A and B are shown apart, each in its own frame.
Chain A
């Protein structure tokens, strides 16, 4: 049973480009969470999704950031027109249901040049 899979592990983008980060939850998990980690900081909540629904996006920046978790396929975190301040590690976590244990992926390190 594979864990939470995130790809790519490293992503380099130039300012103004788009970044697409993918997360495949563990098998049987329908709850997905995205977190962002800035250097020397803890993880900050961004968004919580269930299949085809955004449950809580209170941590998402108002512009340029979007997330989806379609019925089929991985969850996608999309960042449009990236800026240097978007450089961070982005972690995905999944759980089988609410209040069950979260399993984290290994993160995607986004570097914006």
Chain B
């Protein structure tokens, strides 16, 4: 069974700093997707970034980028020039490409951006 592990329950950084959130996963599959979701206090689940496992190039979305290490089964999220609005829970997630559409979530990292 696939599992997703986020080892940092909570983090705090100063505004404008760079922060990296860790995520590791376990799977025997070769084709899959990885995601980072943001959940602000409004509770809305917002897709931040998505990575296809077959792509070696790390995905990037503006200030958000990932470091995808397939052999190590690691998928960390880097937030550059952090802003107060980045304060939220961040969930790492995994989905098989070829089977069902279940997304498996980690337990989350609560990120505080301090003014």
Q: Which residue of A lies closest to B35 (CB)?
A: A102
A56 to chain B: closest CB distance in Å? 5
Given A56-B100, A99-B101, do A42 and B43 touch, yes or no (CB 8 Å)?
A: no
- A interface residue count range (under 10 / 10 to 19 / 20 to 34 / 35 or more): 20 to 34
Check A87 for interface membership: any CB of B closer than 8 A.
Answer: no
Given A43-B91, A48-B100, do A89 and B43 touch, yes or no (CB 8 Å)?
A: yes
Check A44 for interface membership: any CB of B closer than 8 A.
Answer: yes
Do residues A31 and B101 form an inter-chain contact, with CB atoms below 8 A? yes
B32 to chain A: closest CB distance in Å? 11
Check A69 for interface membership: any CB of B closer than 8 A.
Answer: no
Interface size of B in residues (CB-CB distance below 8 Å): 20
A36 to chain B: closest CB distance in Å? 11
Q: A91 — which chain B residues lie within 8 A by C-beta?
A: 45
A-facing residues in B33-55 (Cβ within 8 Å): 42-47, 50
Given A42-B91, A42-B107, A99-B97, do A56 and B102 touch, yes or no (CB 8 Å)?
A: yes
Q: What are 24 A-B contacts with C-beta separation under 8 Å?
A: A31-B101, A33-B101, A33-B102, A33-B103, A35-B103, A40-B107, A41-B107, A41-B108, A42-B4, A42-B107, A43-B45, A45-B102, A45-B103, A48-B100, A48-B102, A56-B102, A58-B102, A93-B45, A95-B101, A99-B97, A102-B101, A106-B42, A106-B43, A107-B45
